[in-house]
Amino acid sequence: MDAPQWDRAACANFSSPPVNGTQLPSPLLPHVVSCQFWSIVHNEVLLYCSMALILTFFLFSLVVNFYLLLGLEHSEALSWQPRYILLRSLIVSDLLQSLTLAPSMLYCLLCRETLRFSGWCLAQYFIATLAIITSLVTVASMALERFVYTCFGIHYLTIMTQGRMCIFVSFNWLLALTAAGSSSILVLTGRAKFGQVTSGFVCEPEVVQAQIYSSVHFETFNKAFVGCLLIICLLVFCFSYGRMYQEARQAQQPFQEDNVRARGTVAFYLGIFFMQLFPSTMKFITLFDKDVDSHLLLAVLVLVPPCVNPLAYGIRNMEVRQALEHLWGLKRLEEIFFCKQQCKGTPEMNWRPPDGIPALHQISSGGLQTHSDLGQKQAVKKINE
């Protein structure tokens, strides 16, 4: 009998009721820790698949978010724009979320044991709660910022000043800090059972709640706050992109192709936002239904938003891609390579019209547009940026 089979057999004996009044083993014994582990993982295949997914998400999140953050910090053109101030806040919260949760999951899976409730577990719960709340609020704030940009374009820079954006971002972090701190204080006041073996790989609300003697206030606070937060974020997002879509539909009939693109953009960001809400929504459901066995699934899903957010809100934007190219000198290499290829042709082929004079193919393809054409298309194109 191999080790996993022996562990599962021992867990079966451990889970059976005591006979002749014998005492159950202490929850600190190694085989009890193993029983808690195999009650979540179930088999070796699930173990190795979970480790591969968590490691992949963790490394991808670190590389992409750090790369994007460096590109924004080294770009003077983007550093002051309100959109990218919010994006930097989202990147920091995503990195904090990945660095807090993923190493703990990998350690538990490698050692084949669950966490013990300790000071580190409580600190992990505080930091993860802070990062997740900040990410949700920041994504909703980015939708609101796009609404102001699209519907109040003339007054955009007077509304979204750099000082106001710094205050707004600080308010988002302060809100998350207050919620995470209040929840952590309720854990301490509820007489937490430090040193006990938990039934999870990360200290999420359900795991922490099981380690509190008096958990009524902790449970009520989490249900009320998480429910209100999800509803408010959803309303802000739907209002913002709904108004932007209405603004795009007001364009005249010749621009129906841009309206189709606007619908696709709204659907894309709506899908990204629902994916951001999905782990929190699942955890909110498990606060009411304790029989849902979803700890391992939620532990993996919570690492997905930090991987998708930088792609959807950052690298998808052309300005950000250009900043990233300049960061590593890729744009310069491309220009040098392009010049070498063009220099092989004749001088006539390399001639380009002076600045301000359109090329022939631009005129023949309808590239010239009047000022009124651009004004009519402006509202439709803003939503696609």
Residue 361's pLDDT band (cuts 50, 70, 90): very low
Name the more confident of 332 and 116: 116
Both tokens of 253, joined, read 């009939």
Per the prediction, the chain carries an average pLDDT of 75
Residue 320's pLDDT band (cuts 50, 70, 90): confident
Cα 244 to Cα 4, 55, 57, 343, 375: the distances in Å are: 55, 38, 32, 46, 16
What confidence score (pLDDT) does residue 269 get?
A: 78
What confidence score (pLDDT) does residue 257 get?
A: 54
Highest mean pLDDT among 71-75, 154-158, 223-227, 319-323: 223-227
Each residue of 229-271: pLDDT tens digit?
989 998 998 898 888 877 777 654 455 555 666 677 777 777 7
For the chain, give the percent of residues with pLDDT over 70.
68
Residue 327's pLDDT band (cuts 50, 70, 90): low
Could you write out the DSSP letters of every residue in 171-231? HHHHHHHHHHHHHHHHHHHT-B-TTPBPSSSS--HHHHHTTBSS-HHHHHHHHHHHHHHHH
Buried b (16+ CB within 10 A) or exposed e, 311-320: ebbbeebeeb
Cα 201 to Cα 54, 145, 281: the distances in Å are: 12, 37, 19
What confidence score (pLDDT) does residue 58 get?
A: 94
Each residue of 166-181: pLDDT tens digit?
999 999 999 999 999 9
Does residue 223 have a pLDDT over 50? yes
Number of CB atoms found within 10 A of residue 7's CB: 17
Residue 228's pLDDT band (cuts 50, 70, 90): very high
What confidence score (pLDDT) does residue 185 get?
A: 92
Under a CB-based contact definition with an 8 Å cutoff, are residues 244 and 146 in contact? yes
What confidence score (pLDDT) does residue 255 get?
A: 52
Under a CB-based contact definition with an 8 Å cutoff, are residues 123 and 185 in contact? no
Cα 233 to Cα 229, 270, 280, 355: the distances in Å are: 6, 12, 12, 46
What confidence score (pLDDT) does residue 333 get?
A: 44
Number of CB atoms found within 10 A of residue 344's CB: 8
What confidence score (pLDDT) does residue 102 get?
A: 92
Residue 292's pLDDT band (cuts 50, 70, 90): very low
Ranking 7-11, 56-60, 105-109, 308-312 by mean pLDDT, the lowest is: 7-11
What confidence score (pLDDT) does residue 351 get?
A: 43
What confidence score (pLDDT) does residue 360 get?
A: 35
Each residue of 129-148: pLDDT tens digit?
999 999 999 999 998 998 88
- The reported pTM is 0.75
